[in-house]
Amino acid sequence: MDITPAIQDHLEERLGKIVTDLEGMIDVHAILSVEKYRHKAEITVKGKGVTFHSEDETKDLYGAIDSTVEKLDKQLKKHRDKIKEKRPKHGATIKDLPIQ
C-alpha cells in the first residue's frame, strides 16, 4: 500500500499531539495495511523500559488511525497516572515531622 501525503499528515498530526507530551520516548512505529475492505492500523511506541502497542481495524483507514491513537492515548494516560501515584507528595518534609 502506498502512503499518500494526506494519510501521512493525518497520522503525524494525531500522533504528534500525544507523543510530544512523553519524555524519553525513543521510537514510534506505525503499520498501516489494507485487505479488501478492512483497513488496519497498528502503532507501537517504545521508551525507557516501557512499550505501548495499539491496533484497530475498520472500514476506513482514517477511522482506524483515529481509534488506534485514542487507544494508545488511554494507555499513555494510565501510565502517567500510575507514575504520579508513585511519586512522593510535595509539602511534607522531614523538618515538618513531629519529634518524639
Q: Residue 19 sits in which domain range?
A: 5-86
Task: Tell whether the model's pLDDT for residue 92 goes beyond 60.
Answer: no
Domain assignment present for 77 = yes
Domain assignment present for 100 = no
SS3 for the chain is CCCCHHHHHHHHHHHHHHHCCCCCEEEEEEEEEEECCEEEEEEEEEECCCEEEEEEEECCHHHHHHHHHHHHHHHHHHHHHHHHHHCCCCCCCHHHCCCC
- pLDDT tens per residue across span 39-82: 999 999 888 888 899 999 999 999 999 999 999 999 988 988 88
Domain count, the chain: 1
Task: Tell whether the model's pLDDT for residue 19 goes beyond 80.
Answer: no
pLDDT of residue 27: 86
- CATH at residue 45: 3.30.160.100
Domain assignment present for 98 = no
Domain assignment present for 82 = yes
Domain assignment present for 81 = yes
Q: How many Å apart are CA 82 and CA 9, to the nearest integer?
A: 31
Domain assignment present for 99 = no
